[in-house]
Structure 1
Amino acid sequence: MSSLLSDAPTPTAPAPLEAGNQIAIARQAIVGENRAVLGYELFDRSTSPAAHTADSDAALLFNALSFADTEALVGNKLVFINCTHASLKAGHLELIHPGKVVLEVPPAPDHAPGAIEELAAVLASLRKEGFRLAFNHTVLTRGYASWRPLAAYVKLDRAALAPEKIEPFVAFARTGTDAQLIAEKVETAEQHRMLSDCGIRLFQGYWLDKPAVVKVQTIRPPQATILQLFNLVRSRADTALLEELLKRDPTLAFNLLRFINASGLGLNCEITSFRHAVMILGHQKLSHWARLLLTTSRSGGAPPVAGRTAVVRGRLMELLAAELLAPEECDNAFVVGAFSLVDAMLGVPLAKALQTVALPQPVVDALLQRTGVYAPLLELTEACESGNEEVFARVANALHLSNRQVNMAHLQALAWAEAMGG
């Protein structure tokens, strides 16, 4: 056996990732009677609070719904997200399942009547789409009459309101809105009791729940790749070109499949190919997703060695599958090869990584159990990389593939990956 890939690096074990590939998201519960959790407010702990912009809002939503284990982070509870006015107008909200998200909206700049009315139209549109809106107690003051009917929640800042003002605010909220009231910054049992006596039933604060930080490792495609995707989408490129780019960079493809499977997106569908993933989102949502990915990426950087190896694996398995299986099976063979090193790229066990994407069962079986129709192709590919002649001969013979067939497929896979820049 003459292996063309025997000198290629074969990262097989999860390795520590750079600190820049780690995100930190804090959550704090909003609770009701008997401390039953209504939802969690999320905070980005990866950046300075002073850097709160439309892009930072987008990054927090993107990270929470793409990279974090959303079920562990918020389960089936509501997600409360602080927004800037700019982020409310941004297209990235089209990617979010509105039934899970409450948008916390700050007051208009200087409480200017023109700004209030302009934002009222934006907020009404979001409410119509199914988003719930939360405002602070300012919405109960003069000038915000157009916002009040849109409120699902009104937050009363205990620290900012004099105790004698809380009861009048509560009384006015009950008559002037249909919103539920949330008392925030509740820090003692006495404060909780006083607010409860005023008729408030939802609470947030250190006495009830201190923010818990969840740290998550990520894999980020190079900015150049993301920019290429963004430009292809904006130019309405053919689906085949987009699929080709996803095949070139497994980190890009894995991020897209994980995002599609995120509970916040509301899709949760099995993806049968990268082409299918592109078609599921469509050009407009794919453009928003690429922009969000670009927002959270870092400049520079080259694909990891594992990423290049995975590209060659995917193409080699696709070519070998074409010799043995039906044409519709070849896409799955590519996915098996491309995602077989996700554990090395992501720094977590493969089983945990695959929980965040929805793949056909035969693909999962090949990756985790080493069973099914794609398993021998993966074993043969790995034997080529490691130079294990015994395994190569056994699997190639079982598949009725000659040395020449496999080596030609190697050459084609290497040439294809080189041409793709992998």
Structure 2
Amino acid sequence: MYSYVARQPILDSKQKVVAYELLFRDGQSNSFPNIDPDKATSNILTNNHLTLGLDKITNGLPAYVNFHSDALVQHFPSFLSPDNIVIEILEDVQLTPELIDALTELKRKGYKLALDDHDFDARWQPILPLIDIIKVDVLALSIADIQCALATIEAKNITLLAEKVEDREQFEQLKQLGFTLFQGYFFAKPEMVKQRKVLTDKRNLISLIGETTQQKLNLPRITEIFASDPGLTYKLLRFINSAYYGLTQEISSLKHALVYIGEADLKRFISLLALSNLSQNKCTEITRLSLVRAKFCELLSEKQALQEEHQPKAFLTGLLSLVDGILDHDLEHVLEVLPLHVDIKSALLNQDNYLHQYLHLSQLVERGDWENASRFNIERGLPDECCFQSHQTALNWADSVLNRSSILL
């Protein structure tokens, strides 16, 4: 299954592309569907930024993204780097004190704010000092009306962006009026981009929503839910690997990730996923195999009585061992956007270490390559019976996890 987004270039006065506006699509039809604007924004973030990153869609240029009231009040833009995004405030938002406070905080953090389809109404006056860019629909107003309206804007540091420019004459006239950014069919129509979705089980998401409504979070239960869903785990790691968290942390286990993110941001992360409603699909075989590998690697680490910290690393290694297949992207590229511990990354890239040994043994057993599996066990002092019992236990555990999920709905 794929996610779809349209990108439309934004150009400067020399017709050089300097940014892209990202527009939500729910299929291959290049038109905006009948969908709540907050849900559309959440889909763009979860199905694109939390997959491989918006910069992959924009070729490293800034992305203009529409945000409605709820998404702004919940500080969803904070998960994106201020250098890579322009926050478009939709024209029908209500300027509540909560929204103004949220915009003030985003501005303080260095985000650029744009007013979308600006109508020059006086109601926008309270936030004009925060605004960097005003977008004007040049088909909705005549050139004369635009000229008069611009005279009412007192701020001198606001950039003017003309939307829906359709011919050269318009383009030249708007440049004379002080517009320096342009967007419209004269330059390019929105271009469709698709990429494979990271699927998460809706039942797990419902369980997480239930857990976050409790007064005190049950961290072991939440860890268990994430441990049963590679898609959720991947999105959690992508969420942590953002400008909001400094891009420096190496995650070694699920518990580490959940403690690091903190209760408030964990709830915000789950609400972002819930709002996008991205989980409509049942668990697939690739999910089951990921779970089997995760538990198998964890059990082997436990059997060998290595350092206690190795067990959660082993679990996470197995859980993410098929993430390239889930995303349909090269593994090296995927690992670039995940804040994983170096031992886990090395193992996933087939570099020999203790974690890769567990993973390799898991793959031998999966293929029924008993001869090489037995030789592998002998070299490491691991009894064959222990290995095969661990694999059977892992199979039973994965099936029980999926069966528990299946009766939630």
> Normalization by structure 1: what TM-score?
0.84
Among candidates 49, 71, 80, match of residue 64 of structure 2: 80
Which residue does the alignment assign to 2:55?
A: 71
Alpha carbon RMSD of aligned pairs, Å? 2.8
**Measured at CA, do residues 137 and 379 of structure 1 come closer, stay the same or move farther in structure 2, by a change above 3 Å?**
closer
Which residue does the alignment assign to 2:407?
A: none
Residue identity in the other structure for 2:14: N
Residue identity in the other structure for 2:66: N
1:292, 1:218 → 2: CA distance?
A: 16
1:261-320 residue CA offsets vs partner (Å, 9 max, x unmatched): 256875363221111211222122212222222333456643111211211211111111
1:59, 1:245 → 2: CA distance?
A: 22
**1:70–1:262 CA contact under 8 A, matched in 2:** no
Shift of 1:381: 1.1
**Measured at CA, do residues 179 and 139 of structure 1 come closer, stay the same or move farther in structure 2, by a change above 3 Å?**
farther
1:49 aligns to what SS in structure 2? coil
**1:320–1:406 CA contact under 8 A, matched in 2:** yes
Instruction: Tell me whether 1:201 sits opposite 2:185 in the alignment.
Output: no
Residue identity in the other structure for 1:420: V
Shift of 1:216: 0.9
Shift of 1:130: 4.0
Residue identity in the other structure for 1:281: I
**Measured at CA, do residues 393 and 72 of structure 1 come closer, stay the same or move farther in structure 2, by a change above 3 Å?**
same
1:270, 1:290 → 2: CA distance?
A: 21
2:195 aligns to what SS in structure 1? strand
1:146 aligns to what SS in structure 2? helix
1:378 aligns to what SS in structure 2? helix
Residue identity in the other structure for 2:328: G
Which residue does the alignment assign to 1:398?
A: 379
Which residue does the alignment assign to 2:229?
A: 249
Structure 1: which 5+ residue stretches go unaligned?
1-20, 110-114
Shift of 1:133: 2.1
Instruction: Tell me whether 1:334 sits opposite 2:318 in the alignment.
Output: no
Instruction: Tell me whether 1:377 sits opposite 2:358 in the alignment.
Output: yes
Which residue does the alignment assign to 1:61?
A: 45
1:340 aligns to what SS in structure 2? coil
1:32, 1:358 → 2: CA distance?
A: 35
1:358-404 residue CA offsets vs partner (Å, 9 max, x unmatched): 32233222222342222222121112122112211221111111112
Q: Which has the higher helix share?
A: 1
Which residue does the alignment assign to 1:226?
A: 205
1:51 aligns to what SS in structure 2? coil
2:133 aligns to what SS in structure 1? strand
Structure 2: which 5+ residue stretches go unaligned?
404-409
Q: Alignment identity in percent?
A: 27
Name which structure has the greater RCO, CA cutoff 8 Å, separation 6+.
1
Which residue does the alignment assign to 1:27?
A: 7
2:372, 2:169 → 1: CA distance?
A: 71
Residue identity in the other structure for 1:71: D
1:136, 1:379 → 2: CA distance?
A: 53
1:153, 1:59 → 2: CA distance?
A: 24
- Count of residues in Structure 1 that have an aligned counterpart in Structure 2: 396
**1:96–1:265 CA contact under 8 A, matched in 2:** no
**1:97–1:266 CA contact under 8 A, matched in 2:** no
Instruction: Tell me whether 1:321 sits opposite 2:305 in the alignment.
Output: no
Instruction: Tell me whether 1:295 sits opposite 2:279 in the alignment.
Output: no
Residue identity in the other structure for 2:329: V
Which residue does the alignment assign to 1:45?
A: 25
Instruction: Tell me whether 1:170 sits opposite 2:154 in the alignment.
Output: no
**Measured at CA, do residues 73 and 299 of structure 1 come closer, stay the same or move farther in structure 2, by a change above 3 Å?**
closer
Shift of 1:32: 2.0
Residue identity in the other structure for 1:388: D
1:81 aligns to what SS in structure 2? strand
2:275, 2:96 → 1: CA distance?
A: 30
**Measured at CA, do residues 379 and 138 of structure 1 come closer, stay the same or move farther in structure 2, by a change above 3 Å?**
closer
**Measured at CA, do residues 348 and 394 of structure 1 come closer, stay the same or move farther in structure 2, by a change above 3 Å?**
same
Shift of 1:24: 0.7
